[in-house]
Structure 1
């Protein structure tokens, strides 16, 4: 059980109820994970969910590449709920199960998949060192261009916020699911 269980409707202030409604009526269609935490502070929920909607639904990144960046972030931060939530989405976006397994097991992405390899290297390096080397930057810049590089960093940053929220408040995977990082 999470350190902060979801607020019941009768416990919400008018602003919390509005923020909750805005989230559930948006593209997510529900409220779970960090959003159930953030809704306690409506202004945070408003801003975070708008950034999240952009990172998830508005970038120019292909869905499989976006989900790869999210899984890399979830794995690095050992966020079981986030991995659980996005592994399914990654599969539905066409991310190869072998690549998902490689990320989970800390195995390199094959060189014959240059976009996947560049995404893995770029995100992993950013999360591991908080910087990007010149070599990694040039490779990613050549493959993705400036706009998508900015979006990749935004996705990693936003999902880091999500993972830290999940980890700090111990948001568990659903009861009938297994935590990938116990």
Structure 2
């Protein structure tokens, strides 16, 4: 990682780290960067928790939205942290593997296919076609679409942080996108 380790935490950072650990099982990865701005970290963690655990979207689509953003930004840490969770939640592994290679995923689940198309349109063109919007609104509802856009924004911010600060990959994982520079595995 481009920043050195946090060796001494302020009382505010320590309290925030304890809350993150209680909710997420540890303070690692991007939170080791965000803790350097405790107020931002607190707000980002709350938004991220909503997107992952409470969004109106079903769990498999929440996980897929994270993977779409991670792949769009080549955020390898995020991908590694969530690829197995996405499969466990019901996202087709073969489609995910095609996404990782930059190929069209072709999801067997029509909801996953629509979410991927919707998210890809907004991330790549910054707009969504009328047809895709109408399908998304019918299938996911107003709150689902708002939550999807919020999630994509959150996961895009996460990806930019991970890439900018070159947060080290998990010690037990290989880079999912080997052509991406700026990452290294940490010893484990």
The normalised TM-score by structure 1 is: 0.92
Aligned-partner Cα distance in 2 for 1:25–1:177: 24
Q: Does 1:20 align with 2:21?
A: no
Shift of 1:109: 4.1
Aligned-partner Cα distance in 1 for 2:38–2:65: 27
1:114 match: 110
1:3 match: 2
Aligned-partner Cα distance in 2 for 1:72–1:43: 27
1:131-152: CA deviations, max 9, x gaps?
1111111111111111100011
Aligned-partner Cα distance in 1 for 2:81–2:96: 13
CA RMSD of aligned residues (A): 1.5
Aligned pairs, number: 178
Aligned-partner Cα distance in 2 for 1:78–1:163: 8
2:37 match: 41
Q: 1:68 aligns with which of 43, 64, 69?
A: 64
Aligned-partner Cα distance in 2 for 1:151–1:134: 19
State the structure with bigger RCO (CA 8 A, min sep 6), 1 or 2.
1
1:83-94, aligned counterparts within 5 Å?
Answer: 83-94=79-90
Shift of 1:74: 0.3
Query: Where does structure 2 lack aligned partners over 5 or more consecutive residues?
Result: 181-188
Shift of 1:76: 0.4
**Alignment partner of 1:53: what SS?**
helix
User: Are the structure 2 counterparts of residues 17 and 48 from structure 1 closer, same or farther at C-alpha, using a change threshold of 3 Å?
Assistant: same
